[in-house]
Amino acid sequence: MFDVFALGPTGWGDEMLMGAVMTVLVSSSSLLLGITLGIVFAACKLSNFFILRAIAEVYTTIIRGIPELLVIYLLFFGGSSAVMYLAKIFGYMGYIELNAFTIGTIAVGAISGAYSTEVIRGAVNSVPKGQFEVGKTLGLSGYSLYGKIIFPQVARIALPGIGNVWQITLKDTALISVTGLVEIMRQSRIAAGSTHEPFIFYTAAIILYLLITRLSNIFFDSAEKKYSKGYVSKEAL
Amino acid sequence: MRLELMYESFFKIVEGIPLTLQVVSISTILGIFLAVAVALMRISGNRLMSLPAYYFVYLIRGTPLLLQLYFVYYGLSQFEAIRESILWPILKEPYWCGIITLTISTGAYSSEIIRGGILSVSKNYIEASGALGLSQIKTFLLITLPITVRQALPAYGNELILMVKASSLISIVTLMEITGIARTIISKTYAPVEIFLVAGSIYLVINFIIVMFVNLAERRLGIEKAT
Amino acid sequence: MISALSTVAFADGHWSTIKIGTEGAYEPWNFTDSDGNLVGAELDLARDLCARMNAECEFVQQDWDGIIPALVNGKYDVIMAGMSVTEERKKTISFSKAYMTEPARFFALNSSPLSTFSSAKNLNLDDDGDSTSGTISALNNAMKGMNVGVTVATIHEDFANKYLDSNLKVYPTQDEMNLDLAAGRIDAMLCDVGTAEAFMETAGGSDVVTFGPNVFGGLLGEGVGAGIRQGDADLKAMFDKAIADAAADGTISKISMQWFGKDLAP
């Protein structure tokens, strides 16, 4: 029964593992894009300009209100045309190809960005206002204020939330299998179809996702510990 | 943009709304029962109860819904034992496979919300209720439950929206709800962007209405918005 | 970002690299082997055609339901995915001449009453005589109210929509429809003969039998051809010539015998 997982040309074991590697790669790049978008749109939401707040609000409402599958399809089919349209404005007339990995990263990154926006905004809000004022009074600004005082606190508060966003992102990458990117989900569908053994391949896929989840939990837990040095946990109070 | 096509397909896609709402509401209701059971198991203090509940939630939260759906629909039906069992009339139907998968998913996620709600009920209330001579069951029904509902409602509103979005996946097992109809139209018109924009807007409106209802319920129950 | 950009066509119309879109889940036309490679009759044929055209071939995998939009969108230049040339599709894309032809047929489990259904050997939809309509109504009566599977956006779906009053189940891939036929979720499926025969040779498909006539002509199209964007007339001309050459020197027959065990050359 386990012959199907043989490594090498006769079995699907190595293909499934490569699928897992692809899942981790596309999840990580999506999360990075997501956090970047999250920082930008959180800044928009916290800004004094109505237009910026409105843009950020529309972005998070739309992404959180329509199914992830549709977001991915829309970017997959509309993404290249949109990029080419923009390129034409700048005078580039050729064809621009966005490969499955790029499209997948952009789509899942956009979803992940909407959730990150809320997490980061919440974290910034929870830094006491006095800290900004004290920092400014001490003559700090720019990197010294934000890089050394505010960011470490935001990072600490946001970390558990980002851990949740990672979990959402990891699972959403299963949907980009529709764009042809061979990650765990697509690989197990191909193998299940080819061998007519769906049970064993979907079980293998479940185990791979749980393994990635377990490993990333360990990573986020240790990161949380590192950033909360010097803080007393709530449970201990 | 082919606006006329979008206009025409709108009327076809709305025909999928009843199935979407039906699947979502049946799964949500069944999911609440599952969630309460799992939440009570987790806080039972008995490891034989709490551990299986913990692993169940871990399993469901750690894997993509799409994979769970494939597992239930194609994975289970592979076995003759299942195809000859009394469960087959149910598992045979894509409709019930969709509902089972969504119920299990929302059951796991909501059990965490409900557990959080129950744990937030102050021990003082429960002790006071005991001092007043109320039985355990009465304490649960009259004290714990109402406070839990109030605590859990905002998070539960989010869960409802996630359910509406998740239901779009059941189109993959041949069900013709909103996304399923949209895909059929695309296969004839080759206009994915236009058609998915229409379908996306319909989901947006449904979710907007849900948010309004949840807000209304929150106001009636006197819950302060925590923003 | 730069690595994601690439220019495909040269201005003089010479195609040095051609991107070919295929599904990879339609044995033996195009599928994925246990080493993760795309293989099948169309992959072999594509490599042969590209050699004849002095072009570099690159294969892109794409789910069937988006295979035409993605061609129009420019994700690849040619579709070779067991796609029949039909009037309906010609409204959106153009086709090379057909490189293989294969009729459609119905399939059921051997335990099903449908397995004993008898009819004429052929159903040619271009022939609008009484025998055609008689065969269609006999098929329709036999399957009335049953669950009949087809794959999405195929000529088979068009046929079922037009001629059958059955309860249609539309699948994203042939592989998944195969699984559901074997599991008994659908009573019959309509697809092309070659792909079903490949399934019947596996353990999972050992209980599957065929019934009814060979169905072809009419809305089932003019055989399987390469889908090409309407603007790329030069590419279509290149494919037409290469396909004609490959048919003339017996290459198509050879590839067909190897993968289908019979000659599907046009």
Q: Which of C65, C172, C185 sits opposite B92 (nearest CB)?
A: C185
Same domain for C121 and C201? yes
Task: Decide if C254 is inside a domain.
Answer: yes
Q: In this structure, are residues A63 and A111 in contact, taking their beta carbons and an 8 Å threshold?
A: yes
As a whole number of Å, the CA-based R_g of chain C is: 19
Q: Which residues contact C75 (CB under 8 A, 6 or more apart)?
A: A80, A97, C19, C21, C60, C62
Place of tokens 């195929």: C154
The answer to whether the Cβ–Cβ distance between B62 and A78 falls below 8 Å is: no
Q: Which of B64, B71, B204 sits opposite A66 (nearest CB)?
A: B204
The answer to whether the Cβ–Cβ distance between C65 and B190 falls below 8 Å is: no
- CA A45 – CA A66 distance, rounded (Å): 21
- Residue-wise pLDDT tens for chain B (227 aa)? 689 999 999 999 999 999 999 999 999 999 999 999 999 999 988 999 999 999 999 999 999 999 999 999 999 988 888 888 888 999 999 999 999 999 999 999 999 999 988 888 878 888 888 888 888 888 888 888 888 888 888 888 889 999 999 999 999 898 999 999 999 898 888 888 999 999 999 999 999 999 999 889 888 877 655 44
Same domain for C64 and C80? yes
The answer to whether the Cβ–Cβ distance between A97 and C6 falls below 8 Å is: yes
CATH fold for domain A16-228: MetI-like fold (1.10.3720)
Q: How many CB atoms lie within 10 A of CB A175?
A: 25
- CA B15 – CA B37 distance, rounded (Å): 35
* CATH number assigned to the domain comprising residue C87: 3.40.190.10
Sheet holding C78-79, edge to edge: C56-61, C17-22, C78-79, C227-228, C94-95
Q: Which of B58, B75, B201 sits opposite A199 (nearest CB)?
A: B75
- In chain A, which residues have their Cβ closer than 8 Å to the Cβ of B197? 74
List the one residue out of C258, B75, C65 whose CA is nearest residue A188. Answer: B75
Q: In this structure, are residues A179 and A104 in contact, taking their beta carbons and an 8 Å threshold?
A: yes
Query: Residues of chain A whose C-beta is under 8 A from some C-beta in C?
Result: 4, 8-12, 15, 18, 73, 76-77, 80-81, 94-99, 102, 178, 180, 182, 187, 190-196, 198
- CA C59 – CA C44 distance, rounded (Å): 12
Mean pLDDT across chain C: 89
Q: Delimit the domains of chain A by residue range.
A: 16-228
Task: Decide if B44 is inside a domain.
Answer: yes
Task: Decide if C265 is inside a domain.
Answer: no
> Which tokens sit at B185?
């139209």
> pLDDT tens across C146-183, in order?
999 999 989 999 999 999 999 999 998 898 999 999 99
The answer to whether the Cβ–Cβ distance between B66 and A175 falls below 8 Å is: yes
CB pairs under 8 A between B and C: 39
- CA angle, residues C2, C8, C9, in degrees to nearest 5: 140
Structural domain for B20, as ranges: 3-220
Q: In this structure, are residues A166 and A31 in contact, taking their beta carbons and an 8 Å threshold?
A: yes
Task: Give whole-number Cα distances, A18 to A108, A181, A184, C199, in Å.
Answer: 20, 12, 8, 27
Q: Which of B74, B187, B191 sits opposite C152 (nearest CB)?
A: B187
- In chain C, which residues have their Cβ closer than 8 Å to the Cβ of A80? 73-75
Helices (H), chain C: 41-52, 67-73, 87-90, 130-143, 155-163, 174-183, 193-200, 233-248, 251-260
> Which tokens sit at C3?
């690595």
Smallest CA–CA distance from A98 into chain C, residue? C4
Task: Decide if C124 is inside a domain.
Answer: yes
What pLDDT, on the 0 to 100 scale, is given for residue A165? 94
Structural domain for C197, as ranges: 104-220
Task: Decide if B87 is inside a domain.
Answer: yes
**Domain tally, chain B:** 1
- Residue-wise pLDDT tens for chain C (266 aa)? 333 444 444 444 568 899 999 999 898 999 988 888 899 999 999 999 999 999 999 999 888 888 998 898 888 999 999 999 998 899 999 999 999 999 999 999 999 999 999 888 889 998 888 888 899 999 999 999 999 999 998 999 999 999 999 999 999 889 899 999 999 999 999 999 999 999 999 888 999 999 999 999 988 988 999 999 999 999 999 999 999 999 999 999 999 999 999 999 98
Q: In this structure, are residues A189 and B70 in contact, taking their beta carbons and an 8 Å threshold?
A: yes
**Domain tally, chain C:** 2
Residues belonging to chain B: 227
Cis peptide before A67 (omega within 30 of 0): no
The answer to whether the Cβ–Cβ distance between C69 and B186 falls below 8 Å is: yes
> pLDDT tens across B62-116, in order?
999 999 999 999 999 888 888 888 889 999 999 999 999 999 999 999 999 999 8
In this model, does residue A237 exceed pLDDT 60?
Answer: no
Task: Decide if C266 is inside a domain.
Answer: no
Question: Which burial class, exposed, middle or buried, applies to A37 when counting CB atoms under 10 A from its CB (0-12, 13-18, 19+)?
Answer: buried
Residue C265's φ and ψ, nearest 5 degrees, are: -60, 145
* CATH number assigned to the domain comprising residue B135: 1.10.3720.10
Same domain for C215 and C232? no
Same domain for C141 and C78? no
Helix (H, G, I), strand (E, B) or coil at A182: coil
Same domain for C244 and C174? no
Q: In this structure, are residues C226 and C76 in contact, taking their beta carbons and an 8 Å threshold?
A: no
Task: Decide if B227 is inside a domain.
Answer: no
Q: In this structure, are residues A31 and A39 in contact, taking their beta carbons and an 8 Å threshold?
A: no
Rounded to the nearest angstrom, the minimum Cα separation between C61 and chain B is 18
Q: Which of B74, B184, B192 sits opposite C176 (nearest CB)?
A: B74
Neighbouring-strand partners of residue C148: C168, C188
Helix (H, G, I), strand (E, B) or coil at C95: strand
> Which tokens sit at C97?
């001449």
What ipTM goes with this model?
0.87
Q: Identify the residue among C1, C2, C3, C5 best suited for mutation to test binding to A, counting A beta carbons within 10 A and taking the highest.
A: C5
Residues belonging to chain A: 237
